[in-house]
A and B are shown apart, each in its own frame.
Chain A
């Protein structure tokens, strides 16, 4: 009799433990896996900031690149924000804001500002091709209504047999130095290419 009761107690304990175990396993397996993007957005957005002062140090161009938070975008989009800061009064002026895929990147050249700080240019690389975008430092659009001038398509349209290699900096307040597969050029703001007879 004692044996029968004892075996019954053991059996009930096993059944109870099994039920509890099955319940716990079910609970774990039914817990949703937190997707990566949820984890990513749970953290604070991160920025990578780079900047370049003008020669006289009176203004500075900063570039803020969004590093985190983009994982929620299937296409891995990155946002770039360019701002000109006046150092004397610390006033910021946003001049350009663009969200692009990882195939596109931006860079602030060392010689970004014109000597009088009226203009600035940045370098955009898209699928391995470089574009040089020139802005008014005041963010004011050019007379054609455009916010910036892209030197690359302007050059290609005028000199289809040449390849634009580099834009190095400013020869004067209004002259950008353009290097090509052939001779060098001045690009005089806002819309004139002037061919030089040799490489500059």
Chain B
């Protein structure tokens, strides 16, 4: 009986460990940026390093913070004050921003293709002028410095540590179609305008929402059309990148 009891405890401990590990892996997988959202959610500007996305070398835009001192034109400045609300429609891949009942911005965005963009009602909890975003693994690995105008959002079900955000994207221009690992990609000019408009009111290059300076509500809804790009295509892109000099491409469908 004593032997059975100790074995039962061992089994329970083992099961608990397996559950904890699998849960941890699962949570990591749904993280928007599986490397940086855990290690580093702070402002970071790297003007002298290249990025990588879909197996291709990316040259990020340089960021000159001195230029930010020029007061930016703020959306909705001519419109009566009112509660701010951002809506992201995954079905139409559009973002709409309202000040009271007035629409101040409507534009195309790119949401999750290689990772799911969460739906629900969120609030912006921190705004970063720019940061590095990295994640994925193998052919899906990406590492992007100077991602501009980042607005991280969260709620009780999707905590801040998951790293989902609205931000500018300089590595593609295919807005209106899914292109991200779960974040909401925007044209840089749109992200800049939204960043300067949305709350918390920007006070520095890192602005946390507080009780006195709360974050704008972000509602994400709808169901995107996603035709997942299989790993074979990602591998192909790496082949392309490596064979740029001789322009000999080999495609193998798997």
Contacts and interface: CB of A to CB of B under 8 A. Distances in A.
B240 A168 contact: no
Given A53-B189, A56-B170, A172-B54, A116 B59 contact: yes
Nearest to B56: A172
B247 A169 contact: no
Nearest to A199: B227
Contacts of A192: 247, 249
Given A194-B249, A196-B229, A197-B232, A111 B171 contact: no
A171 B188 contact: no
Interface stretch (B27-35, B172-180, B216-224): B172-180
Interface in A154-182: 168-173, 177
Interface residues of B, number: 35
Contact of B170 (A115, A171, A177, A195): A115
A85 B54 CA distance: 30
B145 to A, nearest CB: 15
B176 A171 contact: no
Interface string A82-125: 00000000000000000000000000001101111000000000
A23 to B, nearest CB: 64
B204 to A, nearest CB: 23
Contacts of B168: 55
B230 A57 contact: no
A110 B192 CA distance: 18
Contact of A197 (B170, B174, B249, B254): B254
Contacts of A142: none
A200 interface: yes
A177 B188 CA distance: 20
B229 A172 contact: no
B167 interface: no
A188 B175 CA distance: 19
24 contacts: A55-B168, A55-B169, A55-B189, A56-B170, A113-B173, A114-B173, A169-B173, A171-B172, A172-B56, A172-B171, A172-B172, A173-B56, A177-B174, A177-B177, A194-B236, A194-B249, A197-B230, A197-B232, A197-B253, A197-B254, A198-B227, A199-B227, A200-B227, A200-B229
For the complex of A and B, list the 3 residue pairs with the smallest distance between their C-beta atoms, beginning with the closest: A169-B174, A57-B189, A199-B227
